[in-house]
């Protein structure tokens, strides 16, 4: 479960050999969610303010997230993605 970014206590990870559609996992305290990269559809629960930060970061980094998704599918090392500031 490689961590690709961390910001404001939010940890973003991707799993090798994970299922489609392209997505990432976000954790914040006891909360966990799966977020689709292209659509932003969320499975799981997050505090609304924190989810807003995750969605802002997703939009800003969509291309880098898709690149990491492809690396993940090949079981290659993932690139770190700039955190939200």
Residues whose CB is less than 8 angstroms from the CB of residue 75 and which lie 6 or more positions away in sequence, other chains included: 16, 17
pLDDT value for 50 = 96
Q: What is the pTM of this model?
A: 0.94
pLDDT value for 16 = 84
Which residues in the chain show pLDDT less than 50? none
Which residue ranges make up each domain of the chain? Answer: 3-73
Q: Which of 32, 28, 35, 27 is nearest to 59 (CA)?
A: 35
Q: How many helices (H) and strands (E) does the chain have?
A: 2, 5
Q: What is the mean pLDDT of the chain?
A: 95
pLDDT value for 5 = 98
Residues whose CB is less than 8 angstroms from the CB of residue 51 and which lie 6 or more positions away in sequence, other chains included: 33, 42
């Amino acid at each position: 479960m490689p961590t690709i970014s961390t910001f404001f206590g939010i940890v973003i990870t991707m799993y090798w050999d994970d299922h489609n559609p392209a997505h990432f996992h976000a954790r914040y305290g006891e909360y966990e969610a799966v977020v689709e990269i292209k659509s932003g559809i969320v499975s799981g629960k997050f505090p609304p303010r924190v989810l807003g930060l995750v969605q802002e970061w997703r939009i800003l980094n969509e291309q880098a997230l898709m690149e990491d998704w492809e690396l993940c599918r090949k079981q290659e090392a993932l690139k770190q993605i700039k955190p939200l500031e």
